[in-house]
Amino acid sequence: MVQVFNSRVLRISRMTSDVVAVRLYVPADFEFKAGQYLSLSVINSEGKKIRRPFSISNPPQKRNKFIEFCCKLVPGGLASEYIRKLKADDEVELFGPAGRFLVRDYTKDIALIASGVGIAPFMSMIPDVLSHNSKSKVILIKSSRAEKDILYEKELETLEKEHPNFRFYNVFSMPKNRNSNKGYVQDFLRYIPHDFNGDFYVCGLKEMIISVKEKLVSMGFKEEQIFYEKFD
């Protein structure tokens, strides 16, 4: 049920130089679907309440008493500056859960394509899909600026070891290591098998989503197979 409620910060952890994980308390009966978001209330300089959506980055499990966000701190951004100052025990107002960026069919193969913090809803969807279905292929292509900006590497490696049907690939726009994949996610769609017949989920900024959609269509995939969540 969509609702406005107060929550408490349980933990803030730095993930990279400009990304933090925010863990927030939710009651044990709080329910959401993988891929949904909650909006965080922030007061702007005119004293007006503004809401900024953040994808829930942990999977829905009945007895979870927390949800997590993976937040990029944009310099000077209203919500970013608010989050930068948050600390454990602070109270925040949330609104949700909401959003229709949900797994359409748990029996199909899925390819997930993310840039930067666009990985957030996929950290909820991937464990959720893998726990429902051990046969469908799950492929993730994710981009970061450089190796130091990689998000969730350990968690994804663990999932890859536990689930032979899951593979993930890192792509870097500015790699330090010359053997790393250099480019944008749309340059690495070759990791998707030619006979792939499942659904695509794309998350990140608008420009990347448009480019990925165009490339997938030019590769012969249908628009109806492509679902996306724009962060800007």
Ligand X SMILES: Cc1cc2nc3c(=O)[nH]c(=O)nc-3n(C[C@H](O)[C@H](O)[C@H](O)COP(=O)(O)OP(=O)(O)OC[C@H]3O[C@@H](n4cnc5c(N)ncnc54)[C@H](O)[C@@H]3O)c2cc1C
CA distance 232 to 226: 18
Interface residue with ligand X, options 78, 86, 146, 210 (CB under 6 A): 78
Find the radius of gyration of the CA atoms of the chain.
Answer: 18
**Site membership for ligand X, residue 53 (CB under 6 A):** yes
DSSP string, 3-32: EEEEEEEEEEEEEETTEEEEEEE--TT---
CA distance 102 to 121: 9
CA distance 66 to 92: 13
**Site membership for ligand X, residue 130 (CB under 6 A):** no
Interacting residues with ligand X between 94 and 113 (CB under 6 A): 99
**Site membership for ligand X, residue 173 (CB under 6 A):** no
Interface residue with ligand X, options 16, 55, 115, 225 (CB under 6 A): 55
Interface residue with ligand X, options 34, 38, 71, 94 (CB under 6 A): 71
Please state the φ and ψ torsions of residue 181, each to the nearest 5 degrees.
Answer: -65, 115
- Closest CB to ligand X among residues 58, 170: 58
Q: How far is the CB of 195 from ligand X (least distance, A)?
A: 32
**Site membership for ligand X, residue 59 (CB under 6 A):** no
CB atoms within 10 A of CB 53: 17
Q: Which residue pairs from 153-156 have beta carbons closer than 8 angstroms and sit at least 24 positions apart in sequence?
A: 155/123, 156/126
- Using CB positions, name the residue nearest to ligand X: 77
**Site membership for ligand X, residue 119 (CB under 6 A):** no
Identify which range of 52-60, 150-158, 180-188, 190-198 contacts ligand X by CB under 6 A: 52-60
- The contact set with ligand X (CB under 6 A) reads 37, 52-55, 69-72, 74, 77-80, 99, 117, 120, 229, 231-232
